[in-house]
Amino acid sequence: MVQNDQVNDISIALKEQDVEPPYSIFTTSEKWIIVSLASIAGLFSPLTAYIYLPAIPMIATAFNKTVELTNLTVTVYLVFQGVSPMFWGTLADRMGRRPTSLGCLFVLSLACIGLAFVPTSQFWLLMLLRCLQAVGSASTLTIGAGIIADIATPAERGGFFGIFTVGPQVGPALGPVIGGALADTLGWRSIFWFLCIASSACFIVMVTFLPETLRSLVGDGSVLPPIQYRPLLHLMGRGRKDSEVECLPGRKSSNPFRLFACVDVLNLLIFNGIQYAVFSAILATISSLFEKKYPQLTETDIGLCYLASGGGLALGAIFSGKLMDWDYRTTKKQLTRNFTPEKGIPGDVISEEDFPIESTRLKRLPIWIIMFCAACAGYGWSLQARTSIAVPLILQFIIGFTEIAMLTTIQTLLVDLVPLQGSSVTACNNLIRCSMGALLVSVIDLILHQIGAGWTFVLLAGICFISVPLIWLAVYIGPHCRASRRVRQTASQN
């Protein structure tokens, strides 16, 4: 009886230590607002890329260039979309989320103004401004991931990442529809005016409301940062500022390229890059394949076909995020029931370092990838057989749903592994997946021409399926790699 009382006393004391102080002083509703603002900013990365695609023939005619040469503006955009977040992500981890976000949106707005006025005799300037546009838009994703790492515990990170990815992932669906409508009615320059107005409006909203969240600057949100880091309207975290709260120490080095030396991180980056490359190839070929297989469709009809994958992306992001949070809570409850007799400490006070985060996050991933591969193969043969258009559209929805479920899972786990470099690890993820996506997109038309749509997507599904062992490898090597990083970090701090 005495021993049980001692165990209960220890449990109560440790639980009290767990909740004091809180991870973040922002309330749940304030966190949702902050994540929603980050999601809106993240929308511009894919939107800026895909809204441009329907206008390529029109722009080629205006500049008196071939479509193939005009497609170079897409290539250079993808290159800078992959590279620039490595700079912005590092800056966000060191200088703050708020100024970096505002800097990205400001650069994007200026680039869009330049593109709206670019002379049709200066094709080189069009390419240069597209590079600048990519620099401004692509990095909003990495900064948003860093914000989530700042304010959300691992137990709630999945749900927040689910909501955050809704904005960026509806861009591929909405971009072609908006771009086609603007180009047909107001001309190709109206696309850039639309982006300028939208990004400027987002800039104003962020200046007004977005608080600084970088933990080395504001701790759990209780530290009042310098005036240049404060929003114009200080509505979130209001009245709970305490300048005495200690901030987390900044890292001596925030070089994101060092993350590639982490075997567990690199393994996840490669796995995610494979799935994203296949999904990019599917999106890139929707227009040409549907135009060929269903010649009765107009350009507007083809643009609307992107909404099927967009709907799957939006619903899959929300569902998978909530499911990850549920898996985390379930695992936590199971550990609570386990006691450690030799220590007399219950399992609900297990440290985050000892929590089986890899197996918890990745437990659903085999299901998602099997569904993705099956839908991908079926999608190719449905187009090959020219079935009812409803069949490939339904399969597009499944592909989008499962792809975003995999992407959200991997992105959440990456931030769990290196929470102090949330923006940097997201930049690494962006670099790998954009590079692999650009490579596959550049050759997908050649593969389609050689073996047809059916076998092409069977081949892509097979490539995805053989990457399944990387999931088990992540679970196997993850705990050891995390322990090694903790030892190195402790040694460097001492």
What average pLDDT does the segment 371-395 reach?
92
Would you say 120 and 67 are in contact if contact means Cβ atoms under 8 Å apart? no
Q: Has domain 24-245+252-493 been given CATH number 3.30.70.2740?
A: no
pLDDT attached to residue 202: 93
Per-residue pLDDT at 343 exceeds 60: no
pLDDT attached to residue 18: 43
Task: Place 325 in a pLDDT band, splitting at 50, 70 and 90.
Answer: confident
More confident residue, 107 or 80: 107
pLDDT attached to residue 478: 86
pLDDT attached to residue 234: 80
Lowest mean pLDDT among 8-17, 44-53, 93-102, 203-212: 8-17
- Conformation bin of residue 344: beta by default, left when phi > 0, alpha when psi is -120 to 50: left
pLDDT attached to residue 375: 95
Per-residue pLDDT at 112 exceeds 90: yes
Q: What is the 8-class DSSP label of residue 347?
A: G
Percent of the chain clearing pLDDT 90 (strictly above): 24
Task: Place 351 in a pLDDT band, splitting at 50, 70 and 90.
Answer: low
Per-residue pLDDT at 381 exceeds 60: yes
pLDDT single digits (tens) 211-251: 988 888 888 888 888 888 888 888 777 655 554 555 555 55
Task: Place 139 in a pLDDT band, splitting at 50, 70 and 90.
Answer: confident
Alpha-carbon gap, residue 233 to 205, rounded angstroms: 10
pLDDT attached to residue 247: 56
What average pLDDT does the segment 79-92 reach?
81
Would you say 284 and 438 are in contact if contact means Cβ atoms under 8 Å apart? no
pLDDT single digits (tens) 444-481: 888 888 888 889 999 999 999 999 999 999 999 988 88
Q: CA dihedral in degrees (263, 265, 267, 270; nearest 10)?
A: -130
Would you say 93 and 218 are in contact if contact means Cβ atoms under 8 Å apart? no
pLDDT attached to residue 474: 92
Domain boundaries, the chain: 24-245+252-493
What average pLDDT does the segment 323-336 reach?
84
pLDDT attached to residue 246: 52
Average pLDDT, the chain: 82
Would you say 355 and 413 are in contact if contact means Cβ atoms under 8 Å apart? no
Task: Place 2 in a pLDDT band, splitting at 50, 70 and 90.
Answer: very low
Label each residue of 267-281 as H, E or C: HHHHHHHHHHHHHHH
pLDDT attached to residue 21: 63
